[in-house]
Amino acid sequence: MKTVDQLVSEWTEEEREKLRELIDECREREKRISESSKRSRENLTKINESLESFLSSLYEIKERTEKLADDLLGIYLHFYNSEMASS
pLDDT tens digits, one per residue of 7-63: 999 999 999 999 999 999 999 999 999 999 999 999 999 999 999 999 999 999 999
The pLDDT of residue 87: 61
Given a cut of 80, whether residue 72 has pLDDT beyond it is yes
Burial 55-85 (b: 16+ CB within 10 A, else e): eeeeeeeeeeeeeeeeeeeeeeeeeeeeeee
Given a cut of 80, whether residue 78 has pLDDT beyond it is yes
Total tally of structural domains belonging to the chain: 1
Q: What is the pTM of this model?
A: 0.66
Domain that holds residue 34: 4-86
CA distances from 17 to 7, 24, 80 (A): 14, 11, 92
Given a cut of 80, whether residue 84 has pLDDT beyond it is no
